[in-house]
């Protein structure tokens, strides 16, 4: 099965701006992409990066499509399904978890992100199309059900944690063991305990 990894090659991870500048965000996004690609390859897949612009020095095949994410993915679904779509910002992903995703039966297999997003998707039904806007997990389940497709949800901690906000990086620091986590530590990121929760902190001398 083809595995697409969408990647924003232009201005990735803007919501991390309070902690990292544009160059750092680009470096972090690239590190996360490489971690995800490596895991997918070790799990026996041959992933294709679906990028918004040319990506330098990639070891895997890439397709450039400047359109919004959902349109770009749907174009690939129309052309050549079945297809899996795994987000590039899942630095806790392991081979075991990737296998759990791909081994799951169902016309449509969805791994929800925290907050109702769709972090990974296996589409084996020819008419299924994506819409990543809003509470996409719920919308994807509804769409698949309308099509009469069988739907299966993969509940996974490692697939649920995507990186949008600084707080998401708390999980990566706590549980990650790959290049992304190392990058974060080298960038001076650490955990800070507040009254109610653990937040990301950054030592200023690393900036």
Per-residue HEC secondary structure of 70-81 comes to HHHHHHHHHHCC
Residue 143 DSSP symbol: H
- Bridge partners (DSSP) of residue 152 are 109
x/- mask, a second copy, residues 5-24, rule CB under 8 A, reads: ----------x---------
Binder of a second copy out of 56, 59, 105, 193 (CB under 8 A): 193
With binding defined as CB under 8 A, does residue 134 bind a second copy? yes
Sign of the torsion formed by the C-alpha atoms of 130, 133, 136 and 142: negative
Binding region for a second copy (CB under 8 A) out of 3-11, 29-37, 100-108, 149-157: 149-157
DSSP 43: T
Give dist(CA 68, CA 45) in Å, integer. Answer: 25
Pick out residues in 156-185 that bind a second copy (CB under 8 A): 156-158, 160-161, 164-165, 167, 170-171, 174-175
Q: What is the total count of residues that contact a second copy (CB under 8 A)?
A: 29
Q: Which is nearer to a second copy, 79 or 197 (CB)?
A: 197
Which helix (H) or strand (E) segment is 108 a member of?
strand 108-112
From candidates 44, 68, 116, 126, binder to a second copy by CB under 8 A: 116
CA atoms within 13 A on the CB side of 178: 21
**Cβ 195 to a second copy, closest distance in Å?**
10
Nearest CB to a second copy, comparing residues 15 and 42: 15
Smallest separation, CB 154 to a second copy (Å): 9
Nearer to a second copy, 115 or 126 (CB): 115
Taking the C-alpha atoms of residue 113 and residue 10, their distance in angstroms, rounded to an integer, is 23
């Amino acid at each position: 099965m083809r595995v697409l990894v969408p990647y924003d090659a232009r201005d990735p991870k803007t919501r991390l701006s309070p902690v990292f500048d544009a160059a750092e965000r680009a470096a972090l996004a690239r590190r996360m992409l490489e971690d995800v690609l490596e895991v997918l390859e070790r799990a026996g897949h041959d992933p294709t990066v679906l990028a918004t612009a040319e990506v330098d020095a990639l070891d895997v095949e890439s397709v450039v499509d400047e359109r919004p994410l959902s349109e770009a993915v749907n174009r690939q679904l129309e052309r050549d399904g079945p297809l899996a779509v795994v987000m590039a910002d899942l630095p806790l992903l392991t081979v075991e978890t990737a296998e759990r995703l791909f081994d799951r039966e169902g016309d449509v297999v969805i791994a929800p992100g925290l907050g109702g997003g769709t972090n990974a998707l296996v589409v084996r039904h020819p008419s299924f199309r994506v819409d990543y806007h809003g509470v996409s997990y719920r919308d994807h389940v509804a769409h698949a059900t309308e099509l009469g497709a069988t739907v299966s949800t993969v509940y996974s901690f490692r697939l649920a944690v995507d990186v949008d906000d600084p707080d998401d990086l708390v999980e990566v620091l706590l549980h990650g063991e790959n290049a992304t986590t190392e990058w974060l530590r080298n960038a001076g990121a650490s955990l800070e305990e507040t009254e109610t929760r653990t937040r990301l902190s950054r030592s200023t001398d690393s900036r």
